[in-house]
């Protein structure tokens, strides 16, 4: 018997990295998993792996900055699996470590559109279903940059702080309907996203990495997925509005 038996979970950005690890773990624990990702090929690869291991999964091409894509994501999930129980807002991008004095407008707008507006829109679309059911769980992906000021570029840091605020707001406003909303704040976890940083802002990178020597090791996708499993399951039924910082004690220093 799995910890998520008969639950239906949407994971945005589930085609690779943290999202893929979460999707695979959720499926192994009995959830019907929807992989919502801009990269349909990557989403389908994740789905194929899950199905080969006996799980149930569906790939849906989704750009979280497009309202029509979000509506299609939700409607296809309900049409296929009948409901939605868990939403994992994992889709996000980085900002090339731009410090405040160097942020280009296009970077600011793109990172906010995906990390913040995308998260808001997916929650906005799923919450009415949760309200009708009087149950539902949201797991948002923040970052150590959402609870500390100097660990990333300005734009990324601002978006991850915004996700922390939205998480607590939703938890406070919908708790009486048995709807929970929590977030995870990882530090460095090697994925295709973190490895995609090319020619970062030298000043921003230098400042952001100033405290890295205090971090004894990076995290793993499996470690973050285990936190997402706990927050998505009934084992965390009394946990609401919490940001679980996963950084090996780095931010405690």
User: Could you say which of 26, 98, 156, 174 is catalytic?
Assistant: 156
Helix, strand and coil content of the chain, in percent to the nearest 5, comes to 50, 15, 35
Edge-first strand order for the sheet with 8-12 is 56-61, 32-37, 8-12, 86-89, 136-141, 179-186, 243-246
Q: Residue 201 in contact with residue 102, Cβ under 8 Å?
A: yes
What does the alpha-carbon distance between residue 119 and residue 134 come to, in Å, rounded to a whole number?
Answer: 21
| 26 classed as catalytic | no
Please measure the distance between the N-terminal and C-terminal CA atoms of the chain and give it in whole angstroms. 40
Nearest alpha carbon to residue 181 among 88, 78, 84? 88
Q: Return the active site residues.
A: 156
């Amino acid at each position: 018997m799995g910890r998520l038996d008969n639950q239906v979970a949407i994971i945005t950005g589930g085609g690779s990295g943290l999202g893929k690890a979460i999707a695979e773990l959720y499926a192994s624990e009995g959830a019907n998993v929807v992989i919502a990702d801009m990269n349909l090929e990557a989403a389908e690869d994740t789905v194929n792996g899950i199905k080969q291991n006996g799980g149930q999964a569906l790939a849906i091409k989704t750009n979280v900055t497009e309202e029509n894509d979000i509506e299609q994501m939700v409607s296809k999930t309900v049409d296929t699996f009948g409901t939605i129980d868990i939403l994992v807002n994992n889709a996000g991008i980085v900002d090339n470590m731009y410090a405040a004095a160097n942020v280009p407008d296009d970077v600011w707008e793109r990172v906010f559109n995906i990390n913040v507006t995308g998260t808001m829109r997916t929650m906005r679309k799923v919450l009415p279903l949760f309200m009708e059911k009087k149950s539902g769980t949201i797991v948002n992906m923040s970052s150590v940059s959402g609870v500390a000021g100097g660990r990333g570029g300005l734009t990324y840091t601002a978006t991850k702080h915004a996700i922390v605020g939205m998480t607590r707001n939703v938890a406070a406003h919908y708790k009486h309907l048995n709807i929970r909303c929590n977030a995870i704040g990882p530090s460095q976890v090697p994925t295709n996203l973190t490895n995609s940083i090319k020619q970062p802002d030298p000043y921003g990178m230098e400042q952001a990495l100033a405290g890295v020597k205090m971090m004894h090791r990076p995290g793993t996708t499996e470690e973050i997925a285990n936190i997402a499993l706990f927050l998505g399951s009934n084992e965390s039924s009394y946990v609401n509005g919490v940001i679980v910082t996963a950084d090996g004690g780095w931010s405690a220093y």
